[in-house]
A and B are shown apart, each in its own frame.
Chain A
Amino acid sequence: MSTFSTPEFRRRAFLAGLGALSTSALVTACGGTTASTGAGSTTPVDGGNITFLIQGYDTGWVSSKTSISSYEGNLWGQITDKLVYVNEKGELSPWVAESWEELNGAKDFVIHLKSGVTFSDGTPVDAAAVVANLNAWAKGDSTRGVSKVGLFPSSNFVSAEATDATTVKVSFSSPALGFIATLAYHGCILLSPKTLALPVEAQADLSQEIGSGPFVVKSWKQGDSYVLEKRKDYNWGPAALGHTGPARLDTITYKVIKDTSVRTSTVVSGQADVAFNVEPQEIESLKAQGFTVGTPRYLGFVDGFQVNTQAFPTNDIAVRQAIQHGIDRDEILKTVYTSDWNAATTFIQGNVPEAGEFSDSFKFDADKANKILDDAGWTKGADDYRSKDGKTLEFTLTPNPYVPSTKAEDELIAQQLKKVGIKVNLKVVDVAGYAAVQASKPPLFQTSRSFVDVGTVAGVLTSQNKGEDWFGLGTSDQKLNDLSTAIATASDRASREKVADELQQYVLEQGYFIPLNQLVQRLYLISPKIKDVQYNGLAYANFYTAWISQ
């Protein structure tokens, strides 16, 4: 079945390893020869099935949770469409919305829908359906336990109504610069009104999710496998992808394999086509064997820690700043990750237009960190950990299970902070346990949140108009309150950019957010025979245009 006779079988001198433990010679030797990729024509070929190996779909299918989990987002992306498409560089282009207008200072918007778009149950994706979706994203339905989409600009949302079959008018109480961009956010997926009306328990059932995407749910067994098959009458793909007709692949099978090494080895041995979230440190050797490893960067926050200013010890600004300067991000990038990862310049990803260059406010400087702590009265004890008024400078860190290699990353951080006298304990949990860790509001919480427009950042900084209040400040930091309202209600991009710079400078100096590196949350190990896999601005691999070359 596998046509692979590449060197990796010899490299995998596994059992010899058991005996001689001398595989080093074999590993370096194979660096040179790359896999002989088949000549294969470049013109796409229809048909064929692929198997996609993923850790699991544990958080369930209730669509409008506060934020879509990184795993389920893959499947949603194939069975649903969005109004607007965002490419890797963050440029927006029409999709189900043919065109849109931004009126009177971005307070009113008119969206013109493509005609002939239908949900998989045949009902049309008309203005009424879009209005139903918009209301669900903006307000959710607390009576039925359905929450709103986290980063949707709900604070100033007024109404959405269908002026005719293919046009929708949306109005806001104050300028919502990021509204059109948010329509491309992976949380804003178009679902049939019938699905939206379902009670919460029914929504948890995947087969009830009626989307309008290029694939439809064929069959699934909870926790084991999920099979999507192509929708033959689909012809409203986003123009930016260079293809609008039906998908080329017949089916995509998502198979749950919890163990990272098993996923990697299964694809390498040719028994599956795509593996999700492989070990970053293996990328070089996997590429050397001719496999493609997609490491897309999404628009959103960097890999880093939201700091809880109410919890010990991070309630002391000196501690926050000492941590900020005590972490050697360069060593992390070199050790845990590869050249595909970029250093962080601020607490938002580099491809976000408003991202600035503030790396000197978190430059690695152990002496400075030590000095800050000495000045703040944290004296070093015998075990060279610092303490003050009898309490040791210590906190517990939980690696984010949604992001690859955070366990190795946090272990290295613990070592680095030990050098400045801060004791860091680690607690390892899986996806299910991570929600409980977030709920317990730890001093440092490792986040991985995407967004399409920087305006939506305002929704997390403070508790103003039901904000997520990441830093536990409530509204106590007036400067932060002003900055976040300014950014949310900025009338034009230029003035918003200036406010964004000031915000980034302030948040980093106050040590509210401790960036680590630009996040690559989703890694795709793809077998060389699969061509034309494209990535959107939210770093999801899209198999709509993919095809198999023999």
Chain B
Amino acid sequence: MTSDYKRFALTRAGQAVVVVLLAYVLTFLVISVLPGDAITNTLRDPQHGLSEEDIQRIVAFYGLDQPVIVQLLLSLGRFLTGELGFSLQSNLPVSRIVGDALPSTLTLATSALVIAVVFAVVIAYGAQYLPGKWAAIVRSIPSFFLSVPNFVIGLVLIEFFAFRLHSFTTTDPNSPVATLFAAITLAIPVSAPLAEVLIASLDHESRQEYALVARSRGLTEATLFAKHLVKPSALPSVAMVALIVGELLGGSVITETIFGRDGIGTVVQKAVTGEDQPVLQAVVSLSAVVFVAVNLVADLASPLLDPRVKLREKVAA
């Protein structure tokens, strides 16, 4: 079994690396399509007070005077060695900018993920075991969660909990309570797809005959759920959890702006308004790396968690 598994793991890892590189190239092409040459006109801007010699150094560093394909290879080569270049606005090394911003976004994203999973489980369990009328209401919650833009959720939470109930202050956005509310804002739209997958698989599993057989042996609903339904229904959700990691990174742009948190989201926003290409390139490709890594882990874990998954088919797919 293990030799099969090793081969399966290697192929998936190989595919993952290819995807990351392609993501880097795609982002570079999209960014370098920027009309006019943002890099040169931000450099020439007197406000920066950059001397002519500084400008030449930066132009040479990014190979701006060479064709796009050369610039791409240059920057791809550096990306592989972990070298992310300099920000055009603050000429600080990009790795430091992203490094400083990462912790706050990571705490936000992970707590949002946890909250999203909790929301999804509560909704899915409620939809399964609440009496008729209530179950219908709970089932429609995910589609409601999907309909509210997260900037509205954020504004409402801040207005109600910060300004009226003083449960947290906007002056200290990184405090535990403020992070909790920011995480809730991010978690709500993200928990919807997770809840729907969980509801669908719970419905499917609870209609299987083994649930009937277990009931015929006198198991209570609770033990039936815990012992029999949780594991098979959780498996499809593992893949969905990996998918929504992408949503988390995307959603953080708005959430961090509203809650005044300095994270990857605000870095992206500043980079966009300031047309700071190297920062944009770094953030997007790092998010791709995070997404691909998480999905790889989910991919490699699924044969271990679910005995039904055959490695042979997995490899061929």
A257–B158 CA distance with the chains assembled, in angstroms:
14
A265, B44: Cβ atoms closer than 8 Å = no
Indicate if the CB atoms of A257 and B44 lie closer than 8 Å.
no
Contact with A along B27-63 (1 / 0, CB 8 A): 0000000000000011011111111000000000000
B228-271 vs A, Cβ < 8 Å mask (1 yes, 0 no): 00000000000000000000000000000110101000000010
**Is residue B166 within 8 Å, beta carbon to beta carbon, of the partner chain?**
yes
Bound Cα distance A2, B270 (Å): 34
Answer whether residue A39 sits at the interface, using C-beta atoms and an 8 A cutoff: no
Taking CB atoms and an 8 Å cut-off, the chain A residues in 413-457 that contact chain B are 429-430, 432-433, 435-436, 438-439
A257 touching B260 in the complex, CB below 8 Å, given contacts A1-B166, A51-B171, A262-B158: yes
Q: Is the CB of B274 within 8 A of A432?
A: yes
Q: Which of B156, B160, B163, B258 has the most CB of A within 10 A?
A: B163
Asked if B287 is at the interface of the complex by the 8 Å CB criterion, the answer is: no
When A259-B258, A432-B274, A433-B274 are in contact, do A65 and B170 touch as well, CB less than 8 Å? no
Among B169, B171, B262, B274, max chain A CB count under 10 A is at: B171
B133 within 8 A of A: no
A223 close to chain B: CB less than 8 A:
yes
A contact residues around B163 at 8 Å (CB):
12, 265-266, 268-269
The residue in chain A whose Cβ has the minimal distance to the Cβ of B274 is A432
CA distance A513 to B200 in the complex (A): 67
Nearest CB of A to B163, in Å: 4
Q: State whether A62 and B159 are in contact (beta carbons under 8 Å apart), knowing that A272-B171, A432-B89 are contacts in the complex.
A: no
Judged by DSSP, the binding face of B is helix
Q: What are the residues of chain A within 8 A of B89 when measuring CB–CB? A: 432
With a cutoff of 8 Å between Cβ atoms, the chain A residues found around residue B169 in the complex are: 266, 271-272
**Inside 8 A of A2's CB, which chain B residues have their CB?**
166
Query: Within the complex, which residue of B45, B47, B162 is in contact with A269, where a contact is CB–CB below 8 Å?
Result: B162
CA distance A147 to B159 in the complex (A): 44
Measured between beta carbons, the chain A residues less than 8 angstroms from B46 are 435, 439
Cα(A329)–Cα(B158), bound, Å: 37
CB distance from A416 to the nearest CB of B (A): 28
* In the bound complex, CA of A429 to CA of B46 (Å): 17
Q: Is A200 an interface residue (CB 8 A)?
A: yes
User: Do residues A14 and B160 form an inter-chain contact, with CB atoms below 8 A?
Assistant: yes
Residue from the list A15, A200, A429, A430 in contact with B160, Cβ < 8 A: A15
B312 interface residue (CB < 8 Å to A): no
| B273 and A262 contact, CB distance less than 8 A | no
Instruction: Write out the residue numbers on chain A whose beta carbons fall within 8 Å of the beta carbon of B171.
Output: 51, 53, 255, 257, 266, 271-272
Find B262's partner among A18, A65, A223, A436 (CB 8 Å cutoff). Answer: A223
> Which residue of A14, A15, A258, A438 is within 8 Å of B260 (Cβ)?
A258
**Which B-chain residue is minimally distant from A62 (CB atoms)?**
B49
A439 to B49, CA, bound (A): 12
Q: CA A9 – CA B258 in complex, angstroms? A: 22
Partner of A435, one of B47, B90, B158, B166: B47
A59 at the interface (CB under 8 A from B): yes
Shortest A248–chain B CB gap in Å is 22
Known contacts A59-B47, A266-B169; A259 and B260 CB within 8 A of each other: yes
Q: How far is the CB of A226 from chain B (nearest CB, A)?
A: 13
**Is B308 an interface position by the 8 A CB rule?**
no
Compute how far the CA of A231 lies from the CA of B26 in the bound complex, rounded to whole angstroms: 55
Contact assessment for A265 and B159 in the assembled complex, using a CB-CB cutoff below 8 Å:
yes
Contact B44 A439 (CB under 8 A): yes
When distances are taken between beta carbons in the complex, the residues of chain A under 8 Å from B90 are: 60
Say yes or no: is B164 at the interface (Cβ < 8 Å to chain A): yes
> Roughly how many angstroms separate A62 CA and B166 CA in the complex, as a whole number?
38
Across the interface, do B47 and A439 meet the contact criterion of CB distance under 8 Å? yes
Contact indicator B166/A436 (Cβ below 8 Å) = no
Contact A14 B258, beta carbon cutoff 8 Å: no
CA distance A51 to B156 in the complex (A): 24
With a 10 A CB-CB cut-off, give which of B42, B50, B170 has the most chain A CB atoms. Answer: B170
A271 touches B45 (CB 8 A): no
Our pick among A271, A430, A438 for the contact of B166 (Cβ within 8 Å) is: A271
**When the two chains form their complex, are residues B262 and A224 in contact, meaning their CB atoms are under 8 A apart?**
yes
Interface flags for A274-316 (1: CB within 8 Å of B; 0: not) read: 0000000000000000000000000000000000000000000
Q: Do B274 and A257 touch (CB < 8 A)? A: no
Is A145 interfacial (CB-CB < 8 Å)?
yes
Contacts of A272 in B (CB 8 A): 169, 171
B164 touching A429, Cβ below 8 Å: no
Can you name the residue of chain B whose Cβ is closest to the Cβ of A223? B262
Q: In the complex, what residues of B have CB within 8 A of residue A65's CB?
A: 49
CB neighbours (8 Å) of A145 from chain B are 49-51
Shortest C-beta distance, B51 to chain A (Å), equals 6
CB pair A271 B170 closer than 8 Å: yes
Kindly identify, within residues 258 to 317 of chain B, every residue whose CB is under 8 Å from any CB belonging to chain A: 258, 260, 262, 270, 273-274
| Contact A269 B164, CB 8 Å, known A224-B262, A435-B45 | yes
Q: How far is the CB of B283 from chain A (nearest CB, A)?
A: 16
Kindly list chain B residues whose C-beta atoms are within 8 Å of the C-beta of A429: 273
Docked pose: A439 CA to B46 CA in angstroms: 7
Interface 1/0s, chain A 179-214, versus B by CB < 8 A? Answer: 000000000000000000000100000000000000
Residue of A2, A62, A258 with most partner-chain B CB within 10 A: A258
Q: Determine the distance from Cα of A97 to Cα of B41 in the docked complex, in whole angstroms.
A: 44
Bound together, the chains give a CA A439 to CA B171 distance in angstroms of 34
Report the nearest A residue to B171, measured CB to CB. A255
Task: List A residues 237-285 near B (Cβ within 8 Å).
Answer: 255-259, 262, 265-266, 268-269, 271-272
B152 to chain A, nearest CB (A): 10
Shortest CB-to-CB span from A202 to chain B, Å, is: 14
**Max count, chain B CB within 10 A of own CB: residue among A53, A62, A265:** A265
Q: Which of B169-212 contact A (CB under 8 A)?
A: 169-171
- Those of A208-233 within 8 Å (CB) of chain B: 223-224
Closest-by-CB residue of B relative to A18 is B156
Please indicate the chain B residues that have their CB under 8 angstroms from the CB of A53 in the complex.
171
Q: How far apart sit A145 and B160, CA to CA, in the bound complex (Å)?
A: 49
| Chain A hits for B42, CB < 8 A | 436
Q: Within the complex, what minimum Cβ distance (angstroms) separates B171 from chain A?
A: 5
Query: Do the beta carbons of B49 and A200 come within 8 Å of each other?
Result: yes
Query: Are A266 and B170 in contact, with the CB atoms below 8 A?
Result: yes
Which chain A residue lies CB-closest to B41?
A: A436
Interface CB pairs A-B, < 8 A, 8: A62-B49, A265-B158, A265-B170, A269-B162, A271-B169, A432-B270, A432-B274, A436-B41
Which residues of B does A touch, CB under 8 Å?
Answer: 41-42, 44-51, 89-90, 156, 158-160, 162-164, 166, 169-171, 257-258, 260, 262, 270, 273-274
Can you add 10 more A-B contacts, CB < 8 Å, to A147-B49, A224-B262, A269-B166? A9-B164, A14-B156, A262-B158, A265-B170, A269-B163, A432-B273, A435-B46, A436-B45, A436-B47, A439-B47
